[in-house]
């Protein structure tokens, strides 16, 4: 699978994107996201795209449409998202998505997981999000 969701460190959700997902995998990803929102628990997201391929137009369109479909719930439950990107091409792909979709929560891009985790832990201490154990 090219997209993995790991909720074992809740409220931190780790998402790992590797290679090029299929439309089927994207659909499954957004089904998993919807199930996570149904738990009604606040969370922060660590999205690791260090091993991702530049998404096709179809995958980008599906990703943006999935984000838009979950916009209200994302704003309700996601406190912050950190993207880990170490490729200029993936950074441009992420920028293009951020140009057409404005997340209802803060999003920052980092090149290392350590920096991203520190930001998630320190910058967004929210009363309803327990201390993160990263």
pLDDT in tens, 78-101: 999 999 999 999 999 999 999 999
pLDDT tens-digit profile of 118-131? 899 876 664 444 45
Q: Please, what are the domains in the chain?
A: 3-123 (3.30.750.24)
pLDDT confidence of residue 2: 85
pLDDT confidence of residue 48: 97
Q: For 131, which DSSP code?
A: P
107: nearest Cα among 97, 32, 62: 97
d(CA 130, CA 18): 29
117 or 128: which leads in pLDDT: 117
- C-alpha dihedral, 4 to 44 to 40 to 51, nearest 10°: -10
pLDDT confidence of residue 128: 41
> 36 by DSSP, 3-state: which?
helix
d(CA 114, CA 5): 19
pLDDT tens-digit profile of 52-72? 999 999 999 999 999 999 999
126: nearest Cα among 79, 74, 81: 79
């Amino acid at each position: 699978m090219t997209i993995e969701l790991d909720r074992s460190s809740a409220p931190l959700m780790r998402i790992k994107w590797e290679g090029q997902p299929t439309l089927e995998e994207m659909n499954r990803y957004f089904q998993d996201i919807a199930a996570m929102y149904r738990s009604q628990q606040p969370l922060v997201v660590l999205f690791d795209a260090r091993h991702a391929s530049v998404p096709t137009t179809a995958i980008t369109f599906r990703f943006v449409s999935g984000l838009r479909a979950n916009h209200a719930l994302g704003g309700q439950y996601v406190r912050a998202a950190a993207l880990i990107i170490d490729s200029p091409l993936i950074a441009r792909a992420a920028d293009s998505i951020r140009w057409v979709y404005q997340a209802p929560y803060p999003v920052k891009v980092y090149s290392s997981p350590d920096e991203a985790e520190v930001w998630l832990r320190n910058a967004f201490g929210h009363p309803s999000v327990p201390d993160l154990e990263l």
